[in-house]
Amino acid sequence: MSVRIDDLLLQIATVLYFLSMAGYGGFLFSQKKPYQKAGLSLIASAVLLHFISMAVYTLSNRHVPIQNLSQSLSLSAFALGCMFLFFQYKSDLKILGIFASVLLSVTMGMVWLIPDAPAEKNEIFKGFWFYSHIFLIFAGEAALALACGTGILYLLQEKGIKSKTPGFFFKRLPSLDFLDDVGYTCLTTGFALMTIGLVTGFIYAKVIWGRFWSWDPKEIASVGTWLIYAALLHLRFYSGWRGRKSAIMTIIGFSIIIFTFIGVNLLIGGHHTFTK
C-alpha cells in the first residue's frame, strides 16, 4: 500500500515540532534570539503542514479526523500550535515557546504511539453544532494549556524572587506582572471559548439525543473543569487572587483538563469515548 499523503505530512510536522523544542532549548540556555526565531518558524511551518494534512484527510475521507483518540490528540496539538502562534503574536512572550514546543512534541509523540484504531463511522458525529462544539472546546483548552504554561513560568520566577536567590531563570524570564498579564489573557480567552463550546455541545446533544444533559462522565468532568475556572476568575475579580495563587490554579485546572481528556476515554467510558 502506498504511503498516505496526510500521514506523511503529519510525520514531517511531528519532526518539526520536535526540532522546535531543540530551538527553544537552545534559546533558553544561550538566550540568543536566532534560536528563538528558528523555534518559532519551525512551529509555524509544522502548524501549516499539520493543517494541510488534516485538510487532505478530511477531503478524502469526507469527515474531520476526530474519530479516535489518536486523531483527537493530533487535533488538540494543532489547536495548541495555532493558539501559541496567536498569543506569541499578541504578547511576544518568547520564552513561552519552551512550554508550547515541549507540550506539542509530547502530544504528537502520543499521537504516533497510540494505535490509530480504525474509526467506526458514526453518522451522528456531524453537523454545525457538533463541529462548533469540537473546535471551540479544543481551542479553549489550548488557550488554557498556555495559561498553565505561563503559570509554571510565573512560579519559577516568583520562587527565585521570593527566596531572594535569583538564579537560572531570573534573567531568562520576564517580569512577574507581565507573566501574570499574559496568563490572565490566556485564561479569559480559554474560558470564553470553553463556555461557548459547552453551550454548543448541549445544543448538539439536544438535537441528537433530545436532551441537554445525560450524566455522561465527560460531561460531568467538563462542567467540573468549567466550574473550577469560573471560580478562579471570580476569586481573581473579587478577592484579588492574582499572582502565585492564580498561577497554581491554572496549573490545577489544566491537569484536570488532561485527566478529562485522556482519563475519561481510557478509564471510564460514555458517549465521548471512541471505543464502545
Binding residues (CB under 8 A) for another protein: these are: 157, 161-162, 164, 166, 170-171, 173-178, 181, 239-245
- Smallest separation (angstroms) from another protein to the CB of 31: 9
By beta-carbon proximity to another protein, the closer residue of 7 and 181 is 181
Alpha carbon distance, N-terminus to C-terminus of the chain: 29
- Smallest separation (angstroms) from another protein to the CB of 10: 39
By beta-carbon proximity to another protein, the closer residue of 80 and 176 is 176
- Taking the C-alpha atoms of residue 234 and residue 198, their distance in angstroms, rounded to an integer, is 19
Burial tier of 1 (Cβ tally within 10 Å: 0-12, 13-18, 19+): exposed
**CA-CA distances (angstroms) from residue 276 to 13, 64, 121?**
31, 20, 12
- Taking the C-alpha atoms of residue 189 and residue 196, their distance in angstroms, rounded to an integer, is 11
- Smallest separation (angstroms) from another protein to the CB of 99: 19
Q: Cα dihedral angle (186, 226, 203, 140), rounded to 10 degrees? A: 20
By beta-carbon proximity to another protein, the closer residue of 224 and 240 is 240
By beta-carbon proximity to another protein, the closer residue of 2 and 239 is 239
127: which DSSP letter? S
By beta-carbon proximity to another protein, the closer residue of 68 and 185 is 185
- Smallest separation (angstroms) from another protein to the CB of 146: 18
Residue type, 86: F
- Smallest separation (angstroms) from another protein to the CB of 186: 16
